[in-house]
Amino acid sequence: MRSLRTGLSLTSLVAGLALLLTAPAAHAADTPLRDLGAAKGKVVGTAVTGSKLTGTYGDLAGAQFSSLTPGNAMKWESVEPAQGSFNWAEADQIVAFAQAHNQQVRGHTLVWHNQNPNWLTNGSWTPAQLTTLLQNHIGTEVGRYKGKIAAWDVVNEPFNEDGTYRPTLWYNGLGTDYIAKALTWARAADPAAKLYVNDYNVEGVNAKSTALYNLVRSLKERGVPIDGVGLQAHLILGQVPSTLQQNIQRFADLGVDVAITELDIRMNLPSDSAKLAQQKADYKAVTAACVAVARCVNLTVWGFADSDSWVESTFPGQGAATPYDGNYAPKPAYYGIAEALGGTSTPPPTGGCTASYGVGSQWNTGFTGNVTISCSGASLSSWKVTWTYGAGQQITQAWNATCTQSGAAVSCANAPYNGTVPDGGSVSFGFNASWSGSNPVPTVTLG
């Protein structure tokens, strides 16, 4: 409660609350994805970064999703950066957030060739040492979160594109049996967690997914614990594999669950309304394929907002791969997921432009406000935003817009230089105003 001691902190707290309430308000009536998914027997998840689980990002992560996957926090380099020295802070934080929001956690990932600590990658290990290292790692991490993880991506990305085994630290040292061993150790450490093998480019029927299929079949024949396969689904616009549902079904028929674990659909930038409409269709097709197969239990996006995606830094010139834009406004893709889960769409599926009102800071007689106009699947060449103040607030000065107030009615139009709001972009303006008594947030209209 230290932040309540000073007036300044109190006003910024009030201002922060006003922003929280207003940012997603344009679509407040939409049923959250997690509820739509529940009605279809599907868990809907997102990858998250622990430090961002606050403000609008935290609100959306908690409200829209019923499963969280730590994007990086549970990887070996994160949890044991120096041998024997552990850092569980971000992973613990994400697990606690999930529990507070009645969400599952997908643990990601125990055995991988990437994001291992240097001491492990650069070490020279005998097979016996590697066995001990891996067994201890799995026992320690799975044991720490025993009872709190719905599913573990035990082994990540074991295959090459042609379906041969990827030559990793683990494969080179221990042979193919590292997979069976890892699964067995994970089962011993948390018998309730579902155990997955996870890979990319295995969404359609192809050489790599067939190798995964053969692995799962052989593990089951040998009695090795395996509960599911993760299809990462890092897809390219317009390229959802036509055999996606068939592929999900063949794994289900083997007797394992399927999860879409890391869905994103990237496009060449900049985005425009045609690309966003295609992306909506693609998200809808992937979701529908999962809905069509009962054993497809979880659909997880790899970051829910374009500003939090790995794509733009990894594929120069590509991006806009997630269901929310960089201002946390839902894109057509969001409505593609929602519709495939049985939800209805507002606003129109082709997208549109919205205005949101926020209070930046507030003091005893005045406050600074801001309005952001965002477009997704549409654009503007000029704009006007109107609202009615409910408690006598009075605008005294505005910037980046021309504002007039008559009684309670406020009307703000673009300045000569900022009428254009591109598809996928936004424009903001600010103002100072007076208030007394209360300062309720008005409903703004873009017209």
Question: Which chain residues interact with ligand 9MR by CB under 6 A?
Answer: 71-72, 114-115, 156, 200, 232, 262, 310
Closest CA to 158 of 148, 149, 166, 150: 166
Judged by beta carbon, residue 195 or residue 441, the one nearer ligand 9MR is 195
Closest CA to 125 of 178, 166, 85, 78: 178
The residue with its CB nearest to ligand 9MR is 310
Judged by beta carbon, residue 12 or residue 72, the one nearer ligand 9MR is 72
**339 vs 70: CA distance, rounded Å:** 26
| Strands of 191-279, DSSP E | 194-199, 228-231, 234-236, 257-268
Nearest distance from C-beta of residue 196 to ligand 9MR, angstroms: 12
Nearest distance from C-beta of residue 71 to ligand 9MR, angstroms: 4
Nearest distance from C-beta of residue 165 to ligand 9MR, angstroms: 17
233 DSSP 8-state letter:
-
Has 157 been annotated as catalytic?
A: yes
Judged by beta carbon, residue 23 or residue 215, the one nearer ligand 9MR is 215
- Report the chain's C-alpha Rg in angstroms: 25
Give me the catalytic one of 90, 141, 157, 339: 157
Residue 399 has φ and ψ, to the nearest 5°, of -135, 150
Q: Element (H or E) spanning 247, and its range?
A: helix 244-254
Judged by beta carbon, residue 304 or residue 310, the one nearer ligand 9MR is 310
HEC secondary structure over 39-102: HCCCEEEEEECHHHCCHHHHHHHHHHCCEEEECCCCCHHHHCCECCECCCHHHHHHHHHHHHCC
Give me the catalytic one of 80, 90, 203, 262: 262
Has 80 been annotated as catalytic?
A: no
Nearest distance from C-beta of residue 115 to ligand 9MR, angstroms: 5
Q: Which residues of 169-183 are buried (b: 16+ CB within 10 A; e: fewer)?
A: bbbebbeeebbbbbb
307 DSSP 8-state letter:
G
Nearest distance from C-beta of residue 300 to ligand 9MR, angstroms: 11
Judged by beta carbon, residue 232 or residue 249, the one nearer ligand 9MR is 232
Active site residues: 157, 262
